[in-house]
Structure 1
Amino acid sequence: MKTTKKAISIVLAGLITAGSMSALSVSAVEETSPTLSFKTQNALYAHAVSGSADSDAWVAWQCEHNEYMNEINANQKYFFLPSSVSSTSVEIYNAYSNNVTVNNVTIPSGESREVSYTIDKSTSVSAGGKTYSLTFLKSSAESAIYVNNSNADGNGSELISYLSEDKSNSASATGAIVDRNGKIDNTSIKKIKGRGNSTWVKAKKPFNITYSDKVSIGGMAKSKKFSLLANYQDDSLTRNRFLYDLADAVGTPYASDSRYVDFYSDGYYWGSYQMTEKIEVGKNALINDIDDTAYLDADGNVNKDFPFLCEVDSNAVDGEDYYVKCNDGIKVTIKAPELSEGDKGYDEVKNYVREKYNAFHNAAKNTASDLSQYADVDSCAKLWLINELGKNWDSGVSSVYFVYKQDSDGNYKFFGSPVWDYDNSLGNATGSAWDLKNFGVKDYTQYSGWWCRFKDRQKRTQSSTNIINNISRNTQVNKAAVNIWFEKFVPAINYFAGKTQNYSGSNEFYSKAQYYDLLKDSAEMNYKSGWYIKTSSWISDHTSMNKADFDIKTGTYTVSNTKTSYNQNSFTDMYNYAADWMTSRAAWISNEWFSEYTPSEIKGDVDGDGTVTVMDATLVQKYIVNAATLTADQIVLADINGDGMVTVLDATCIQKLAIGAL
């Protein structure tokens, strides 16, 4: 359903009526008389950081809402607090005209007081002549994002109402970024506007945010541009995070970093979001080794060859997107350089992108082709494996990005990256029955069965115009993919599953238990505020699964005889379903490929499990004291310093490798 400005305004009516716009600057203000940067109503407001002079990081108490943004049970109020707030007390501002008492603390009108509270415990509050039940909930997210503008259109419309009216609407705003430790960054927002295609028409809106200066969110690298993902159709709120972080861990170029955040605007809590590095080119952007002007030479003429960023996107629209129609009717949007009609090189760039993509597309359709002449094989293999692991419904259809640039030898090639948009993956979507029948796929929602090799396949043939399908069937890519899977993906997924405790692939890829701890309380607030946990019939059944496991040391694949049950109305169960589906799918893929896998030599991996750990160092130490034997091949892997002997120096080096210190 599409949430209109009018519908949003129902729940926000109080937040944008009473009171006048407060001054944006806060100086020499008493701690008990704060100034808020947006219009207030007859309500209580909680501060993200008690006693600070900040005027932006405030949120009003509010009721549960439905998908049309109508209030439910107006007598039950909630404070949806960010992770920066103390777990025992919070600063509350009283915007009523009379005194209000909360948990035995009287707050005079127009003033604030520190109030003790207990998480998820209700208390009775009388305010404005009515009595309410008030419950405090506190987030676990890595950061909180506040964006405020009570006059976004110049006619009195608050920010989210105005932006939600039309995706083309944009506005500036004041704001605050508050981390878990209470550090506040009040960098203003230069521009915020809607984003997405199918996700934009959903009730919970996604946005693109451009700050006026570079900022860091939850420890991410500083940048100005971010995408605020709603993850509305993902009941686990984390499928995108899982696969973005995994892509980074296995070395996919330009994988977007992201954080779980709580989103607030003009005193209203909008839910749990994912703040993600925006796919952009430029010195301080995600893709920082090319820029928007690289297509021109020093004299302003279009270069013979130049780098670009493109997206395979079936949703590209005439008049809105800068795109070319390539062979087989494939639409390729040019993201950089992004030119407008009349700009220097507008047609030349389109012709160049069409020529290069067509050559790549045609080569990919030939399974025996030397794809390395057109593309970086390893990055294309990783792009396929991320889509294959997720059984991504949108695989090869939209949000499929390629960077065209020079490789280390100076040859221009397509690099499969960045990865993007995986809410319809990891067992989430049902798919289309007609399409699945045409592809010849009967087990789409299950973690077993190949997917990308069938996606968009023409009936009764192997032919497909889908780029990921064709990449997945290329002989050269398949040969590379097997070792990439076992030596990059499997160690990461084993760490995610909790099967191993040490992982050196990335310090920003976590175990499923760690991700859950970061997200669980934010998710509780998200769903308690009113967002539905199952949003449409497009979401598949998530109520049971026979989980699978694969032991790489023995090559043993096991499927549990007992079904694990999941409550589809429980966030915890839906989170576990997504995580279990991913690890079970990984087990299935490992079993399918194990017979084809010949391990690459990894110095230090003496026990041959595909990763270097302290167990390898221990095995070498035992060998040194004659408490264990090693094969000739193992001795080669153990001889780190290459002196022809295995000594304590090698064991020490392996220990350093295991912790990433070498």
Structure 2
Amino acid sequence: MKLAKIIAVGLSAVMLTTGFSVSAFAAQTTESTVSTPGFKTYDALYAHAVLNSEDTQAWLRWQSVHDEDFNEIDSNKKYFFLPSSANGEKVDIYNAYSSPITINGVTVDSHKSGSIPYNTNVEYKVNAGGKNFTLIFMKSTAESAVYINNDNADGNGTELITYLNRDKSNSASATAAIIDADGTIETADVKKIKGRGNSTWGKAKKPYNVTFKDNVTIGSMDKCKKFSMLANYQDDSLSRNRFLYDLSDAVDMPYASDSRYVDFYSDGYYWGSYQMCQKIDTGKTNLLSDIDDKGYLNDDGSINENFQFVCEVDASATDDDYHFTSSSGNKITLKTPELAPGDKGYNEVKNYVKNKFDSFYNAIKSSTENLADYADVDSVTKIYLINELGKNWDSGVSSLYFTYKQDENGNWKFYGSPVWDYDNSLGNAKGVEWDLGNIGVNDYEQYSGWWCKYKDKGKNSSSTNNVMNLISRNKNVIKAAPQVWFEDFVPALKTFMSSGVSEGEIYSSDVYYNYLKGSAEMNYKSGWLLNTGSWIADHSKLNVATFDYSTGKYTVSNTVTKYSNNFDGKYNYCADWLTSRAAWLSNEMYADYEPSNPRIENDLNNDGILDVRDATALQLYIAESATLDIEGVKMADINKDGIIDVRDVTALQQIIAQ
């Protein structure tokens, strides 16, 4: 090795460890053969998502930290917010300045690209365009990155997101690149992207709906054309929607939206960490793949006697929405079929859905009707338990979806699905003080206490038209809830509380954290704030609760767990609140749980045989040398004296001997 090269390498190592650039020393000029950005560039540096790639879409420019009006806070400090696909040692940089630049000892000529070695979270000094900058590289851990570009979205030279953010009605086509963490690049055409949401659209970090021209896959999701990009702006853990969507999938709720953590870039700008979800829409490869949105029409153009539909309880529905007000006073929006005035069947479809919903509502509210004649009780119970688990502030008010279709026996019924919009849940929101006072709830932020049966019902009144409130008090749902909870929810929640599980419908908490950690840190460093306003609850401390499913014992820790005001703290608070809430609900429903497949009386080890092994299992349980399952513990008090001890072993031995 030549002496000069040895010196250069040594200096590079020294400067990297001290946080300074070697650009003050003799620099090495390099030129890469990679592509250049396929959209309009400015006086800036651009980095590509994948090393040595010929792709023109996945470029991002360096940027400064911004406030929520997108004003730069320190224009002399720049960041590259790299996706998870970026090489961990080198990155291809495109120099859009009119003169050469040098980074970490490597010079890149004007309008050329070069491969730059880097370390994350190290300050490099760069002179570009006659100005001195400090540059820091950050790298995501998200499952994927999505680049959507159109530098002329309105035909007047306006970049895509600037144009979309002006008005939610604005939409545009675009080109795109989807890059998974392993560096796989899928290019695609975007047929349409536009803003979405109600209250969330009014926030600085905005959500969008995206329709691709062809099916695409994002982070190993099934191929799909229509996605919703959730900003999760009001959720400092960035995870509440993901947790409950995945949980609904794990408990086998129909039409559970699959989703991934992604970093979102447009026209070279990093817009933050998003959750890319399957949109609630029909179509062969979309979420509602088996719902026929044209099923309301017969071949001759007349209206079908019965047909599938998806509707939403939505108190904020406006005249711009295809909706009606039910006999109970609830605003109901039709999501599919979604017709416009003048369309064939516009009024007929609306009246049909209204009549079906009114019958469903009356069955929910009735003390004599059998809900199973109108609805799939299992899925309606599950959507109630999702809302109860989350203490969802919007429970029964908005984003409560029902699908009307035939069951396996050909009977037309309502299904509680799909689940949607849970950022104001899992201990996130404080709620409205006067509203909580009116319904008599003073523990809304806590993981204990029932919620759905109080929502929108005055404490001095017995009436309400809140659909979820009525579902929670329906006799069929009350009967089904403990069994559904312990046989469907508890196994899924145990997976969440385990570690290292990254396959299946729901992952363990540590896996979600590892996917999100780097993306969240970039999100908040770029300018999005933690604790966005007075609406967000205090996430600084918690007395964590646990439930021992082998003994039925509920425990609240005497030690306060404290959470720091950063992503780690906010994520851990959310996860702990979720598991503590699950513990409280388990304790409340434990006594009412009856297994769907009852086993032999006193078969404590659940092997289908009553014999001496059951007495041994009981002895080991009493000696704390082994555990029993939930039903085994319930059976263990053989002599019914309220105590599980050696006398129960004796009683069981006598039963076995007889």
Whether the TM-score (by the shorter chain) exceeds 0.5 is yes
For residues 63 and 277 of structure 1, do their structure 2 counterparts lie closer, same or farther at Cα, with a shift above 3 Å needed?
A: same
Map of 1:216-231 to 2, 5 A cutoff? 216-231=217-232
1:600 deviates by 2.7
**Corresponding residue for 1:327?**
327
> Which residue type is aligned with residue 544 of structure 1?
K
In 2, the alpha carbon distance for the partners of 1:541 and 1:37 equals 45
1:601 deviates by 2.7
SS of the residue aligned with 2:449? coil
**Corresponding residue for 1:543?**
540
In 2, the alpha carbon distance for the partners of 1:300 and 1:368 equals 39
1:405-425 per-residue CA deviation (whole Å, 9 max, x = no partner) reads: 001111111000000000000
> Which residue type is aligned with residue 520 of structure 1?
K
**Corresponding residue for 1:279?**
280
In 2, the alpha carbon distance for the partners of 1:233 and 1:501 equals 28
C-alpha contact (below 8 Å) 2:200/2:207 kept by paired residues = yes
Please say if 1:557 is aligned against 2:558. Answer: no
Please say if 1:576 is aligned against 2:563. Answer: no
1:282 deviates by 2.4
1:366 deviates by 2.1
1:297 deviates by 1.3
> Which residue type is aligned with residue 81 of structure 1?
L
1:225 deviates by 0.4
1:34 deviates by 2.5
In 2, the alpha carbon distance for the partners of 1:287 and 1:481 equals 26
Map of 1:164-179 to 2, 5 A cutoff? 164-179=165-180
**Corresponding residue for 2:470?**
470
**Corresponding residue for 1:302?**
303
> Which residue type is aligned with residue 113 of structure 2?
S
1:565-587 per-residue CA deviation (whole Å, 9 max, x = no partner) reads: 112x2110000000000000000
In 2, the alpha carbon distance for the partners of 1:181 and 1:382 equals 36
C-alpha contact (below 8 Å) 2:501/2:511 kept by paired residues = no
> Which residue type is aligned with residue 236 of structure 1?
S
1:559 deviates by 0.2
**Corresponding residue for 1:147?**
148
For residues 114 and 603 of structure 1, do their structure 2 counterparts lie closer, same or farther at Cα, with a shift above 3 Å needed?
A: farther
In 2, the alpha carbon distance for the partners of 1:89 and 1:501 equals 29
Please say if 1:58 is aligned against 2:59. Answer: yes
**Corresponding residue for 2:582?**
586
C-alpha contact (below 8 Å) 2:34/2:52 kept by paired residues = no
1:599 deviates by 2.3
**Corresponding residue for 1:526?**
523
1:494 deviates by 1.7
Please list every run of 5 or more consecutive structure 1 residues that lacks an aligned counterpart in the other structure. 1-29, 610-615, 639-662
**Corresponding residue for 2:441?**
441
**Corresponding residue for 1:41?**
42
In 1, the alpha carbon distance for the partners of 2:486 and 2:539 equals 28
In 2, the alpha carbon distance for the partners of 1:602 and 1:134 equals 65
> Which residue type is aligned with residue 579 of structure 2?
T
C-alpha contact (below 8 Å) 2:97/2:128 kept by paired residues = yes
C-alpha contact (below 8 Å) 1:140/1:522 kept by paired residues = yes
> Which residue type is aligned with residue 324 of structure 2?
V
1:354-375 per-residue CA deviation (whole Å, 9 max, x = no partner) reads: 0000111111112453111111
1:35 deviates by 2.5
1:40-61 per-residue CA deviation (whole Å, 9 max, x = no partner) reads: 0111100011221110000000
In 2, the alpha carbon distance for the partners of 1:495 and 1:501 equals 9
In 1, the alpha carbon distance for the partners of 2:81 and 2:329 equals 48
In 1, the alpha carbon distance for the partners of 2:270 and 2:212 equals 20
> Which residue type is aligned with residue 308 of structure 2?
P
**Corresponding residue for 1:643?**
none
C-alpha contact (below 8 Å) 2:63/2:78 kept by paired residues = yes
> Which residue type is aligned with residue 103 of structure 2?
V
SS of the residue aligned with 2:350? helix
In 1, the alpha carbon distance for the partners of 2:86 and 2:501 equals 32
C-alpha contact (below 8 Å) 1:367/1:473 kept by paired residues = no
1:291 deviates by 1.4
- Percent identical pairs in the alignment equals 59
1:628 deviates by 6.8
SS of the residue aligned with 1:71? coil
C-alpha contact (below 8 Å) 2:396/2:466 kept by paired residues = yes
**Corresponding residue for 2:596?**
600
In 1, the alpha carbon distance for the partners of 2:574 and 2:501 equals 23
In 2, the alpha carbon distance for the partners of 1:608 and 1:495 equals 24
CA RMSD in angstroms, aligned pairs only = 2.6
Which of 510-519 and 459-468 deviates more? 459-468
In 2, the alpha carbon distance for the partners of 1:43 and 1:531 equals 22
C-alpha contact (below 8 Å) 2:500/2:510 kept by paired residues = no
**Corresponding residue for 2:163?**
162
1:629 deviates by 9.1
1:292 deviates by 1.1
C-alpha contact (below 8 Å) 2:440/2:458 kept by paired residues = no
1:463 deviates by 1.6
For residues 599 and 107 of structure 1, do their structure 2 counterparts lie closer, same or farther at Cα, with a shift above 3 Å needed?
A: same
In 1, the alpha carbon distance for the partners of 2:354 and 2:93 equals 58
**Corresponding residue for 1:251?**
252
1:230 deviates by 0.1
Map of 1:402-441 to 2, 5 A cutoff? 402-441=402-441
For residues 317 and 502 of structure 1, do their structure 2 counterparts lie closer, same or farther at Cα, with a shift above 3 Å needed?
A: closer
1:322-355 per-residue CA deviation (whole Å, 9 max, x = no partner) reads: 0111023211001111111111111100000000
Please list every run of 5 or more consecutive structure 2 residues that lacks an aligned counterpart in the other structure. 1-30, 621-627, 633-658
**Corresponding residue for 2:289?**
288
In 1, the alpha carbon distance for the partners of 2:175 and 2:495 equals 40
SS of the residue aligned with 1:329? coil
For residues 38 and 530 of structure 1, do their structure 2 counterparts lie closer, same or farther at Cα, with a shift above 3 Å needed?
A: same
In 1, the alpha carbon distance for the partners of 2:518 and 2:304 equals 52
**Corresponding residue for 1:511?**
508
C-alpha contact (below 8 Å) 1:369/1:474 kept by paired residues = no
For residues 268 and 87 of structure 1, do their structure 2 counterparts lie closer, same or farther at Cα, with a shift above 3 Å needed?
A: same
In 1, the alpha carbon distance for the partners of 2:259 and 2:60 equals 24
In 2, the alpha carbon distance for the partners of 1:386 and 1:473 equals 15
For residues 270 and 603 of structure 1, do their structure 2 counterparts lie closer, same or farther at Cα, with a shift above 3 Å needed?
A: farther
In 2, the alpha carbon distance for the partners of 1:139 and 1:469 equals 41
In 1, the alpha carbon distance for the partners of 2:282 and 2:463 equals 34
C-alpha contact (below 8 Å) 1:35/1:55 kept by paired residues = yes
> Which residue type is aligned with residue 339 of structure 1?
L
SS of the residue aligned with 2:53? coil
In 2, the alpha carbon distance for the partners of 1:476 and 1:630 equals 38
In 2, the alpha carbon distance for the partners of 1:429 and 1:469 equals 19
1:608 deviates by 7.8
**Corresponding residue for 1:238?**
239
**TM-score, normalised relative to structure 2:** 0.86
1:458-493 per-residue CA deviation (whole Å, 9 max, x = no partner) reads: 341232101111111011111111111011111111
1:627 deviates by 9.0
In 2, the alpha carbon distance for the partners of 1:393 and 1:229 equals 18
C-alpha contact (below 8 Å) 1:368/1:476 kept by paired residues = no
1:576-630 per-residue CA deviation (whole Å, 9 max, x = no partner) reads: 00000000000000011111112233899x9989xxxxxx99x99x999x99799
In 1, the alpha carbon distance for the partners of 2:213 and 2:270 equals 23
C-alpha contact (below 8 Å) 1:76/1:133 kept by paired residues = yes
1:89 deviates by 1.1
**Corresponding residue for 1:82?**
83
For residues 510 and 347 of structure 1, do their structure 2 counterparts lie closer, same or farther at Cα, with a shift above 3 Å needed?
A: same
Please identify the structure whose Cα radius of gyration is greater: 2
In 1, the alpha carbon distance for the partners of 2:616 and 2:486 equals 29
1:489-508 per-residue CA deviation (whole Å, 9 max, x = no partner) reads: 1111122112x8889xx713
SS of the residue aligned with 1:328? coil
SS of the residue aligned with 1:187? strand
C-alpha contact (below 8 Å) 1:495/1:501 kept by paired residues = no
For residues 388 and 629 of structure 1, do their structure 2 counterparts lie closer, same or farther at Cα, with a shift above 3 Å needed?
A: closer
1:68-111 per-residue CA deviation (whole Å, 9 max, x = no partner) reads: 11001111110000000111111111111111111111111111
SS of the residue aligned with 1:214? strand
In 2, the alpha carbon distance for the partners of 1:288 and 1:262 equals 27
> Which residue type is aligned with residue 530 of structure 2?
I
